[in-house]
Structure 1
Amino acid sequence: MTVPSGAATIAAIAFDIDGTLVDSEPLHLDVLNEVCAETGVDLSGLDDDRFRGVHLADVWTALEPRRPADLSHQRWTDLIVARYCARAGELRPLAGMEELLAAARGAGVRMVCVSNSVRRIVDANIAALGIAGDIAFSVSYDDVPHGKPHPAPYAMAASRLGLAPAQVAAVEDSETGAISASAAGLRVFGIATEHLVVPGAELTVARLDELITPILGVTAPDALPRPGDLTKEQ
C-alpha cells in the first residue's frame, strides 16, 4: 500500500456497519425477499447484490415498476425494518472485527459508525455486535439530509469528531459507501466481501484485523484477547 504523500495521522475510524463490521447482507436479502413476496413486489431477474449498500428509500424507488400500485412505502418499509430487527440476534461479526477494535482502543483512536440504514437497524446492529461501549456515536440515514453516496454522512461524522476529514479513516465494503467517504475527504479502506476490491479504496483487505497496521501504524499482535476469552482468576 502507498500512503498518500503528506497524509495526516489517522485519529479516528468511521466504520460502515452492514457488510463491513457484520455479515448482515444475507439477512437483509432474506428479509427483502420475504417481505416482497408477501406484498407482491417482483424481484425476479435481479442479482442478489443489486441493492448492496443502497438505502431502503432508494430500493423502493428502483422497484417502482415491480410493485403493486396499492402498496404503500410506509407499510413496506415498516415490515422490512421490523423483520430485520426481530432477527438481529442471528448476526455475527466479520472476521477480525474484535482485534481491530481492540487495537484502536489501545492506540487511543476513536471509533464511530456511519451507516446507510435507518436508526432502528443501526441500533439493532450495534447491540447485536456488543460494541456500543467502543463507538463514540453513530450516524444513520435518518440523521442526514442525504444518504450515501452523498458525502453528508461522513462529513457529519468528521464534524462531530472535531477532526479534519483527512484525519478519519473510513472502512467500507461497497462502492456506494466509498464514494461517500471519498467525497467527504476521508481516507477510504475496503473490506472485501462479495468483491475482490472496493472501488475507490486505497487498500482492500479480506479481514478487518489486516487494517491494524495500515490504519493505526502499529504491528498487529498475533493474538489479542477477545471479550469472551477473559476469565477471572480463581
Structure 2
Amino acid sequence: MYRAVAWDIDGTLIDSEPLHHQSLLAGCRNWNVDLDDLPDQAFRGIHMGDVWTTLRPRLPVGLDQAEWLAAINAHYVANRANAVPIPEAVETIRTLADRGVPQVCVSNSGRQVVNANLDALGVLDHMSLTISLDDVSAGKPDPTPYREACRQLAVAPGSVVAVEDSRTGTKAARAAGLFVVGYLPSGGLLGDVDLSTNRLSSILDLFPG
C-alpha cells in the first residue's frame, strides 16, 4: 500500500533542537544580541525565515539576513557531533533500505544543516533525495516541501508515509496528502495524524519485509 517514507529530521531522526537553540544564541552574540531569555523550545519546528521575522526587532538595524543565518549555520555545522540520534532512527532507516523502500528527508532547515545532520547520522547514502528550506518557495507548515518530495520521487502523496514530531510538520504533510505518522517519544497525540507512535521502529510494520 505504501511505497516510500518521508522523514522529518530535527526532533524525528536527530535530537538537534538543543543545538539549534545554542547556535541561534551563539550566532546572535556576534552582534551583541542576548537571547538568553528565550525558552529552549521557542522555535521548535519553525523555519529560519520565520525566526528571522520574529527576532528582527531585537537585531541591529541593517543586519543582513543571509549574514545572520550564515553565522548560526556555521556554529551548528561545527558542533554537529553534539546532536544525538533519536533512538531506533538509524536502525529503522537501514532496515527500510534493506527492504528496498525509497526514503527521503523533508526539512525546514537549510541545506547546510540538513547535510550536517545526515552526515552526523551516517544515513545520507540511504536517502533517495532530500528537501531543504533552500529548495522550496515556502517551508512547513506549507505543503510545498512534501509536494516537491513526492514530485521528485514520482510517487503519489497518498502512497508516502510522512514521519513528523511537530504540529508544523504534520500540518504540512496532511495538506500535501501524505499518510501522516506523529512521533512523540513520550506518548500522546500530535494533532491531525493517521497514526501516533512513540517508537520509530513501528514504521517497519507499514513496510513488511
- Does TM, normalized by the shorter one, top 0.5? yes
CA distance in 2, matches of 1:40, 1:56: 19
Query: Which residue of structure 2 lines up, in the alignment, with residue 15 of structure 1?
Result: 7
TM-superposed CA distance for 1:155, in Å, is: 0.2
- The separation in 1 between residues aligned to 2:128 and 2:9, in whole angstroms, is 14
Superposed displacement of residue 203, structure 1? 2.2
Rg comparison, structure with higher value: 1
Counterpart Cα distance in 1 of 2:53 and 2:184: 27
Residues 9-61 of structure 1: CA distance to partner in whole angstroms, max 9, x if unpaired?
Answer: 11000001111101111110111122223424353553322211111111010
Query: Aligned to 1:206, which of 198, 203, 209?
Result: 198
CA RMSD of aligned residues (A): 1.8
Letter in 1 for 2:180: V
Contact 2:28 2:72 in 1 (8 A): no
Other-structure match for 1:67: 59
Indicate whether 1:216 and 2:196 are aligned: no
Aligned residues: 209
Letter in 1 for 2:15: D
Deviation at 1:69, TM superposition (A): 1.7
Counterpart of 1:171 in structure 2 is 163
2:54 is the counterpart of 1:34:
no
- CA distance in 1: counterparts of 2:98 and 2:76, whole angstroms: 33
Go from structure 1 to structure 2 and tell me whether the alpha carbon gap of 1:205 and 1:63 turns closer, same or farther (over 3 Å shift): same
Q: Does 1:136 align with 2:156?
A: no
Change (3 A) 1:53 1:195: farther
Distance 1:168 1:56, change over 3 A: same
* Aligned match of 2:82: 90
* 1:85-121: CA deviation from partner (whole Å, max 9, x where unpaired): 1111222211011332233123321101011111111
Give the Cα separation in 2 of the matches to 1:203 and 1:109: 19
1:194, CA displacement in angstroms? 7.4
* Partner residue, 1:154: 146
Q: Does 1:99 align with 2:91?
A: yes
TM-score, normalised via structure 1 length:
0.83
What SS is found at the alignment partner of 2:15? coil
- Report the secondary structure of 1:133's partner residue: helix
Tell me, yes or no, if the aligned pair for 2:187 and 2:197 is still in contact at 8 Å: no
After superposing the two structures, state which structure 1 stretch, 137-146 or 97-106, moved more. Answer: 97-106
Percent identity of paired positions between Structure 1 and Structure 2 = 42
Question: Following superposition of structure 1 onto structure 2, how do residues 188-203 of structure 1 map, counting pairs within 5 Å?
Answer: 188-192=180-184, 196-203=188-195
Report the alpha carbon displacement of residue 217 of structure 1 after superposing the two structures with TM. 4.5
- Alignment gaps of 5+ in structure 1: 1-8, 219-234
Which 5+ residue runs of structure 2 have no aligned equivalent? Answer: none
Describe the shift of the 1:76–1:196 C-alpha distance in structure 2 as closer, same or farther (beyond 3 A): farther
The answer on whether the counterparts of 1:42 and 1:67 sit within 8 Å (CA) in structure 2 is no
CA distance in 1, matches of 2:33, 2:180: 35
The 8 Å contact of residues 19 and 193 in structure 1, kept in 2 or not, is answered as no
Q: Distance in 1 between matches of 2:30 and 2:147?
A: 38
